[in-house]
Structure 1
Amino acid sequence: MTTVFIIIIAALLVVVGLQYAAHMTLKKKLTQMSMELARIVENESAEKLLIHTDQSVVKKLLIGINRLLDHNQRVIADYNRTKDSLKKMTSNMSHDMRTPLTVILGYVERLKHDQVMTDEQREEIIGRLHSKIENIIVLLNQFFELVKLESEDYTMPLSRLCMNEVCRKSVLEHYELLQSKQLKVEIDIPEENLYMLGNETAVQRILSNLISNAIRYGSDGGVFGLTLREAGDQVEIEVWDRGKGIDEIHQSRVFDRLYTLDDARNPNFQGSGIGLSITKQLTEAMKGTIRLSSKPYEKTAFTCTFQRMMY
Structure 2
Amino acid sequence: MSQDTIIFFLAAVIAVLSFMVLYQRFVFRKGIQKKIGDMGDTLEQILDEKSDEKVMVFTDDKALIHLSSQINRLLDDRQRIQADFRRSEISAKNMLSNISHDIRTPMTVILGYLEIMRLEAEGKDKMVAKVEQKARKVMELINQFFTLAKLESGDTQVEMGRVNLSECCRENVLDFYELLTQKEFQVEIEIPEEPVFVEGNEEALQRILFNLISNAVRYGSDGKYLGIAVRTEGVFALIHVTDRGKGIEKAFAGTVFERLFTMEDSRNREIQGNGLGLTIARNLAVKMGGDITLVSEPDVSTTFTVKLRKMTF
Shorter chain as denominator, the TM-score bin is 0.5 to 0.7
Residues 246-292 of structure 1 deviation map (CA, whole Å, 9 limit, x = unaligned) = 11111100001111233599896340011111011001000001110
Report the TM-score, using the length of structure 2 for normalisation: 0.65
2:140 partner SS: helix
Q: Indicate which of 204, 209, 212 corresponds to 1:210.
A: 212
Please name the residue that 1:168 is paired with.
170
Q: Pick from 127, 130, 143 the counterpart of residue 128 of structure 1.
A: 130
**Corresponding position of 1:16:** none
Change (3 A) 1:51 1:66: farther
Are 2:76 and 1:74 aligned? no
Q: Could you tell me which of 271, 276, 279 is aligned with 2:278?
A: 276
**Paired position in structure 1 for 2:303:** 301
Q: Aligned with 2:220: secondary structure?
A: helix
Query: Larger deviation: 189-198 or 126-135?
Result: 126-135
Give the match for residue 7 of structure 2: none
Q: 1:296, 1:264 → 2: CA distance?
A: 10
Q: Deviations over 1:14-44 (max 9, x none)?
A: xxxxxxxxxxxxxxxxxxxxxxxxxxxxxxx
- Alpha-carbon separation, structure 2, partners of 1:231 and 1:148: 32
| Deviation readout 1:32-66 (Å, 9 max, x if unpaired) | xxxxxxxxxxxxxxxx99999649xx99x958766
Query: 1:189 — aligned with what?
Result: 191
Assess if the C-alpha contact under 8 Å between 2:238 and 2:306 holds in 1. Answer: yes
Compared CA separation, residues 292 and 54, structure 1 to 2 (3 A): same
CA distance in 2, matches of 1:268, 1:221: 16
Aligned to 1:249: 251
Q: CA deviation at 1:191?
A: 1.5
1:236·1:305 contact (CA, 8 Å) conserved in 2?
Answer: yes
Report the residue type matching 1:157 in the other structure: E
| Residues in 2 aligned to 1:189 and 1:218: alpha-carbon distance in whole angstroms | 21
- 1:7: which partner in 2? none
> How is 1:1-311 mapped onto 2 (pairs within 5 angstroms)?
54=60, 67-75=75-83, 82=89, 121-122=124-125, 124-262=126-264, 269-311=271-313
Contact 2:248 2:267 in 1 (8 A): no
C-alpha contact (below 8 Å) 1:264/1:272 kept by paired residues: no
- CA 1:275/1:177 → structure 2, altered by over 3 Å: closer, same or farther? same
Q: Residue 182 of structure 1: CA displacement? A: 1.0
User: Which stretch of structure 1 is more off in the superposition, 146-155 or 64-73?
Assistant: 64-73
- Structure 1 position 166, deviation (Å): 0.6
Pair 1:50–1:193, CA change in 2 (3 A): closer
* SS of structure 2 residue aligned to 1:221: coil
Gap change, CA 1:266 and 1:224, over 3 Å in 2 = closer
Change (3 A) 1:78 1:204: same
Q: Which amino acid aligns with 2:83?
A: V
Deviations 1:200-241 (A, max 9, x none): 110000000000000000011011111111111110001110
Instruction: Indicate if the aligned counterparts of 1:288 and 1:304 stay in contact, CA closer than 8 A.
Output: yes
- In 1: Cα distance, 2:58 partner to 2:275 partner: 50
Are the counterparts in 1 of residues 219 and 267 from structure 2 also a CA contact under 8 Å? no
Tell me: CA distance 1:221–1:167, structure 2 relative to 1, closer, same or farther (3 Å).
Answer: same
Answer whether contact 1:264 1:271 (CA < 8 A) is retained: no
SS class of match (1:190): coil
Question: d(CA) in 2 for partners of 1:232 and 1:244?
Answer: 32
Identity %: 39
Please list every run of 5 or more consecutive structure 2 residues that lacks an aligned counterpart in the other structure. 1-53
Deviation sequence 1:87-142 (CA, Å, 0-9, x none) = xx9xxx9xxx9xxx9xx9xxx9xx9xxxxxx96541x3332222212111110000
Q: Distance in 1 between matches of 2:155 and 2:214?
A: 29
Per-residue CA deviations over 1:135-184 (Å, capped at 9, x if unaligned) read 11110000000000011343211110010111101111111111121101
Amino acid at match of 1:282: L
2-side partners of 1:119 and 1:144: how far apart?
33
Contact in 1 for aligned 2:219/2:268 (Cα 8 Å): no
